[in-house]
Each structure stands twice: as C-alpha cells, then as structure tokens.
Amino acid sequence: MRLTDAKGRHHTIVLEPGKTFHTHRGQFGHDDIIGQPEGTVVTNTAGFEYLVLRPLLSDYVLSMPRGAAVIYPKDSGQIIQMADIYPGARVVEAGVGSGALTMSLLRAVGDGGSLTSIERREDFADIARGNVEFHFGGPHPAWDLRIGDFADRVGEIGEVDRIVLDMLAPWENLDAAADALAPGGVLLAYVATTTQLSRLAEALKDHGGYTEPQAWESMVRTWHLEGLAVRPDHRMIGHTGFLLTTRRMAPGVDAPLRKRRPAKGAYGEDEWSAEDLGERAVSDKKIRRVRRDATRPAAEQGEN
C-alpha cells in the first residue's frame, strides 16, 4: 500500500498480518489497514494521519528496486502511444533494465498479446523479473524474458509488430530489427544523448528499409495549487531521454529519399558547420552591421 502523510510524503509498504509500520513519529499496525477499503485514513500512536491507497503503476516504478536507471512514466506513456502498442500486439523489447517499461508494455498488449524481452545482463534480468512478478502477483502469461544479445535472439521469435530498443548503440541492430519486423511495423528507440540520436537517425536513413525517422522529447512541469496561489512548481521533470520512431518498409522496397536541408555534403566526414546543423545562415553584411552597432560609443547609441 502507499501511505501519504499530511505533508505529502510517501511510504510504500507490503501489508502483512501482525507487522508494524514504524517512523520516528510513531507507529501503527498493519492489521489496522488489512480488510479496509482503499481511501481510508489510519492514525498512528502519535496522532499523525496517513491516507491509504494502492500504488499506481507510476508510483510503483519510482519506488521499486532498481538495477539500472528506469524509463520514467512520462516516457513509458509516450512509448505506448507513439509506438502504437495495442492489445494482442507481438512486441519485442531489448534492454530490460529494471522492468519499468516492461510492465507498461505488458499492460498494453494484454493476456492475448506477447512481449519478448531481451536483456544482455543476467543480473538485470533477475531484478526485472522480480519487479514484474511482484507487481502482477506472479508470472505474466504474455511475457517471455530471454538472456543474450538482441541480434542473436530476435531471430528466434518470428515476425513481430513492434520493437522497442533501449540500448547504448541501437544503430548496430537495424538489420536484425528489419528482419523481424512485419511490413509497416514500428521501431522505437530510447536514447539518452544527442550524439546517439544523430547517429541512429543517419543510420536509419542510410539503411533504406525504414521510413523517415521522427524524434522528440517530453518534459513535465507540475503546478502548485493552493487557493489563488496557482503557479508552476519550482522543479520539473526535464530531459530524461529522446524517443525516435520509424516504420518498416516492405521487403525489397527502399524508402523514398526525402529532400533534406542541409545539403548532401553535410553528411560527409568533414567538419560540420552551423548551416549543416540546420541553423539559419547569417550573412557577412548583417554581421558587419550588428558589429558596428554594438561597438558604437555609448553616447552615440543613446541618441537613437
């Protein structure tokens, strides 16, 4: 259960008969909650009250044991929507981490779908399995967790509808993903840095078997709500990672080459210029004018 005190602080506990919840501000017995409906309030021995509710998946993800960094709920929601994960879908996830995204994917595919998760590290896989099975109360009928490299294991699964990659170098697995994805299937990658994002996007364009990639990030800003004092909170969940999606072309069909700016030469090995990176070029004439205005004596500037 999730306990929330009057100051909004949270505690997540597993209820067991005869056990006691202790803090430096008193205690109460688990038996005081067991059998009560959600949304009740329990008072400890010092008179402090706690609101009692079952934790949501987003609550559980942020409080569960972590072996690797978790994909935040804001990104999991985007992944489910933008990768079009639906009930009955055949999905492959590579890079399980602590199982945060796995639980959202399993909820989305349902008992009639399938999720195959591939993790290179056995210790991470064990942590993810523990978290997932604890959340669902046991093994999920749609889940298959495999140890090994994505490129080696994905070929064992057969054709799939969606692939989600959360790994350091997803561009190394584009061929393996293309072989497994059904035509029109969605490939979604989660990467942390701009250099990863750029390299993956260019690799997808060079591959030819995928549509033009799209990329974005999401940020969440909560608000303070107290009477008329309604304002943004001082903290926000900013950058966590970039999401990139693309779709599989039919076998043997290359994606049409999109007319792009910057020019073709921008994709070579030469040093990139500001224009190559998509920034608007500034003429030498404008630079001279701005420089002249900026370096005029203060007295002259004040006359205008």
- Same domain, residue pair 166 and 42: no
* Digit-coded pLDDT (tens) for 235-262: 888 888 999 999 999 988 888 777 655 5
Domain extent at residue 193: 59-247
230, pLDDT greater than 60: yes
- Three-state SS string over the chain comes to CEEECCCCCEEECCCCCCCEEEECCEEEEHHHCCCCCCCEEEECCCCCEEEEECCCHHHHHHHCCCCCCCCCHHHHHHHHHHCCCCCCCEEEEECCCCCHHHHHHHHHHCCCCEEEEEECCHHHHHHHHHHHHHHHCCCCCCEEEEECCHHHHHHHCCCEEEEEECCCCHHHHHHHHHHHEEEEEEEEEEECCHHHHHHHHHHHHHHCCECCCEEECCCECCEEEECCEEEECCCCECCCCEEEEEEECCCCCCCCCCCCCCCHHHHCCCCCCCCCCCCCCCCHHHHHHHHHHHHCCHHHHHHC
Mean pLDDT across 37-41: 91
Cβ contacts of 203 within 8 Å, gap of 6 or more: 171, 174
* Digit-coded pLDDT (tens) for 83-124: 999 999 999 999 998 899 999 999 999 999 999 999 999 998
- Same domain, residue pair 11 and 113: no
The whole model's pTM is what?
Answer: 0.79
As for how many domains the chain has, the answer is 2
CATH of the domain at 43: 3.10.330.20
264, pLDDT greater than 80: no
- Same domain, residue pair 22 and 71: no
**222, 247, 272 - which closes a domain:** 247
Domain presence at residue 38: yes
